[in-house]
Structure 1
Amino acid sequence: MAASADDHKLRGNVFFMQQLYDDAIREYGIAIVRNPSVPAYYTNRALCFIRMGQHDRAIADAEKAIDLDSTLAKGHYLKMGQALLLDNNRLDAAINALRKAHSLAIEQQVLSVEEIGQKLREAKKKKWEIMDARRRKNDSELHQYLTALVERDRQRQTSQLHPDNLQDIEDTNAQFDNRLSEITGLFTRADDLGKRREIPDHFIGKISFELMSDPVVTPSGITYDRSEIISHLRKIGRFDPLSRQPMTESDLIPNLALRDTIADFLAANGWAIDY
């Protein structure tokens, strides 16, 4: 009797656990041929492709799974987000996919909420680091450009002075040296601030993954931004998204200490508002 599609999926699972990804891909492929309408076959194979660094093939399988079931949170959206996350040119798509996965996971109260949230934080941090690296590169190029302009101006002015007028030459050089020192100091201070451009994880909302402005604590002891948790309670259900314990808006307690800490952080790090 020929093995069923599910039998091949189970064999693929065994190979996957043994990290025999080529064998697992073969079994999942047979399962797909025998029953191409099951999203899990595609998501399982996508995860194999992710492990093997074959991003485009992983994304193709994840997209097929999404076509079959757009509400399957614990699997294809996560795997699609993971696959996209490996490509720096597709970070926005990865963030969007993971946001959708996180939202669906909360609605369906599946166990992968925290795992998806961690991947989403990873994606946002990666995007931030790339943007920050680009900013540093632009600052460095601007520093070099301004320095070259000052040196060009120095050469022009000193060339107009009489070579025997040593005091004027010395004064002019001192003036330009001071100007260069001020420019270097400005960029050095900016770079020192840049080195500290990291937002503590506990400042970030656990639903929106944005910097919190009005943190509140639920009866489970978990802190959310007030607007995001109230939106969840009104639209999704009266339960804590992470602990899944029943709760209402009246159960929320302001986290005043954290709110003040975030306000102090923003006062000293104005760039963080763009996170």
Structure 2
Amino acid sequence: MVNGVSSAAEQAEQLKQDGNLYFKKNRLGAAIDAYTEAITLCPNVPVYFTNRALCHRKRNEWARVEEDCMRAVRLDPKSVKGHYMLGLALLQRENYAEGIKALERALDLGRGAHPNSYMVEEIWQELASAKYKEWVHESAKRTLALQKLEKSCEIALQEKLVHDLSHMMDDTDEVFSSTSEQLAALKLIFSKAAEADKPTDVPDYLCCKITLDIFRDPVITPSGLTYERAIILDHLEKVGKFDPITREPLHPSQLVPNLAIKEAVGAYLEKHGWAYKMD
């Protein structure tokens, strides 16, 4: 029995390798067949499902991507690729809430395992794009609702003016003046209400001193400076073990998550979704 299980596992692993080779040659059908055979032999290995999902993704078969990734994350709740592609599949059918949740999970897991990997950056870009699209959608709804409400208020004030004028003979100038002031105040109020959806400059303290972009995963150095984790790790690896601004010696182990800034960035993005826009 043990030999049988071992043999099945070995066959499945060989099929995965075959699938990987087919995938590199863009023979997606053959790759899918190989991964499917591997799954038949060993249905509890999550990477077989994520590999097959990647093939479906290249074919734009998003329902199958979602199905395979759902199975993968059930088998391995810490599967970065599983949560990532699941998020993409959910976004394809405009399930923004669940899609964004899956991408956020993938981002958290990716940062913990490989903080400066290409996949973490890729996940962030997809998440930021989804968040920005969600903001555009919600912003349009808010703008329309404010415009309708402002128009209704203007109509109500105009109707009140007509009513007041019809019941008085004197001091009409005062009534006109009062209505004008109310209309001006109304316009100011609705103008301020719309300001939250108008892009402005992101505060400097929420931006990395190297990239000048809003923080994604901020870390603080012993000297008190805060950098984007992936950027400072890349600097330490490729340029040298020193702080790029203070020039003091700096090692990756000395970097500490800046939770205060991370929370501030989260709160800022929650109120200003336009800041997710990628240049």
With normalisation by structure 2, the TM-score equals 0.59
- Look up the match of 1:60: 67
- What is the CA distance between 1:166 and its match in structure 2? 10
Contact 1:42/1:64 (CA < 8 Å) preserved in 2? yes
Residue in structure 2 matched with residue 223 of structure 1 by the alignment: 227
Change (3 A) 1:92 1:185: same
Contact 1:218 1:240 in 2 (8 A): no
SS of 1:203's partner is coil
Relative contact order, higher structure (CA 8 A, sep 6+): 2
Tell me how far 1:99 sits from its aligned partner: 3.3
Superposed CA deviations along residues 175-234 of structure 1, whole A, max 9, x for unmatched, are 44553344334434554652315756633142xxxxx6xx63589x98248xxxxxxxxx
Q: Does the alignment pair 1:30 with 2:34?
A: no
Partner of 2:197: 194
Q: Please tell me whether residue 89 in structure 1 is matched to residue 97 in structure 2.
A: yes
Q: Which amino acid counterpart does residue 60 of structure 1 have in structure 2? A: E
Which residue of structure 2 lines up, in the alignment, with residue 9 of structure 1? 16
The one of 204, 207, 212 equivalent to 2:215 is: 204
5+ residue gaps in structure 2? Answer: 1-9, 242-250, 273-279
Query: Residue 204 of structure 1 aligns to a residue in which SS?
Result: coil
CA drift of 1:148 comes to 1.3
Q: CA deviation at 1:60?
A: 2.7
Query: Does the CA-based 8 Å contact 1:32-1:41 persist in structure 2?
Result: yes
Per the alignment, do residues 12 and 97 of structure 1 end up closer, same or farther by CA in structure 2, a change over 3 Å counting?
A: same
1:125-136 paired onto structure 2 within 5 Å: 126-127=130-131, 129-131=133-135, 133-136=137-140
What is the one-letter code of the residue matched to 1:223? Answer: Y
Query: Is the 1:95–1:124 Cα contact (8 Å) retained in structure 2?
Result: no
Identify unmatched segments of 5+ residues in structure 1: 207-211, 226-238, 260-264
Change (3 A) 1:99 1:16: same
CA-CA distance at 1:18 after TM superposition: 4.9
The within-5 A match list for 1:234-245 is none
**1:196 aligned counterpart, secondary structure:** coil
Q: Using a 3 Å threshold, how does the CA distance of structure 1 residues 191 and 23 change in structure 2: closer, same or farther? A: farther
C-alpha deviation, 1:69, in angstroms: 3.9
- Give runs of aligned pairs for residues 36-75 of structure 1, distance below 5 A: 36-73=43-80, 75=81
Question: Counterpart amino acid of 1:204?
Answer: F
Change (3 A) 1:179 1:129: farther
Contact 2:49 2:68 in 1 (8 A): yes
Q: Let me know the Cα RMSD of the aligned residues.
A: 4.5
Q: Take 2:201 and 2:132, find their aligned partners in 1: how far apart are those partners?
A: 9
CA-CA distance at 1:4 after TM superposition: 4.4
Give the equivalent residue in structure 2 for 1:116: 120
Query: Does the CA contact (< 8 Å) of 1:43 and 1:61 recur in 2?
Result: yes
Tell me if 1:76 matches 2:79: no
Aligned partners of 2:120, 2:55: CA distance in 1, in Å? 18
Tell me how far apart the structure 1 counterparts of residues 118 and 216 of structure 2 sit (CA, whole Å): 13
When normalised by structure 1's length, the TM-score is 0.60
- Deviation at residue 105 of structure 1 after TM alignment: 1.7
Return the offset for 1:35.
3.2
Q: Which residue pairs with 1:147 in the alignment? A: 151
Structure 2 distance, partners of 1:118, 1:9, is 24
Write out per-residue CA displacement over residues 35-56 of structure 1, whole angstroms, 9 at most, x where no aligned residue.
3243322111111223334434
**In 1, are the aligned partners of 2:84 and 2:103 still within 8 Å (CA)?**
no
Matched-pair identity in %: 17
Query: Which residue identity is paired with 1:179?
Result: Q
- Verify the 8 A CA contact 2:150 2:190 in the aligned structure 1: no
